[in-house]
Amino acid sequence: MFHLAAKSIKMGISFDIIMHTRKLLQYGIFNHLTDDSISVLHHMIIQSSSTDLNKKRFFQIWRKGDFSENFTHMQLLQETNFLLQQHGEKMIEENFLEESMA
pLDDT value of residue 58 = 94
Cβ(63)–Cβ(30) below 8 Å = no
For 34-48, what is each residue's pLDDT tens digit?
A: 999 999 999 999 887
| SS3 state of residue 10 | helix
Rg (CA), the chain: 15
Q: What is the 3-state secondary structure (H, E, C) of 35-76?
A: HHHHHHHHHHHHHCCCCCCCHHHHHHHHCCCCCCCCHHHHHH
| Mean predicted lDDT score pLDDT of the chain | 82
Cβ(80)–Cβ(20) below 8 Å = yes
Can you tell me the mean pLDDT for 15-31?
95
